[in-house]
Amino acid sequence: DLYSFGNNEIGQLGRDAHLEIKDNFSIWLRPCQILSFQEQNILNIWAGGHGFFALTQNSAIHLYACGANSFGQLGHPSKQPIYSPVEIQGFPCL
């Protein structure tokens, strides 16, 4: 199981940032499970102040990301924040 807590203003916790709003941004004060990964075998995670990545493997290896993406730094073509983990395509090492 994977849990997160803290400031989720730009989706960096891997949970929908619009579920709990306080002063125009989301704060999670207690650890809550990231439900997107309930059925996933998590190999590794990387988390920082503005983004979150998870590497999973069931039958194949998958990379997921969420958080700030204003410059495409998450590997997703959108230049908007990503509030729930999305699979990142096109990594040849996977």
pLDDT in tens, 49-67: 899 999 999 888 999 999 9
Q: Which pLDDT value is given to residue 20?
A: 53
> How is the chain split into domains, by residue range?
3-87
pTM to 2 decimal places: 0.81
Confidence band, pLDDT 50/70/90 cuts, at residue 32: confident
Residue 8 CB-density burial (10 A; 0-12 exposed, 13-18 middle, 19+ buried): buried
Distance between CA 65 and CA 85 in Å, rounded? 5
Distance between CA 1 and CA 11 in Å, rounded? 19
- Amino acid (1-letter code) at residue 27: I
Q: Does the pLDDT at position 24 exceed 80?
A: no
8-15 mean pLDDT:
83
22-31 mean pLDDT:
69
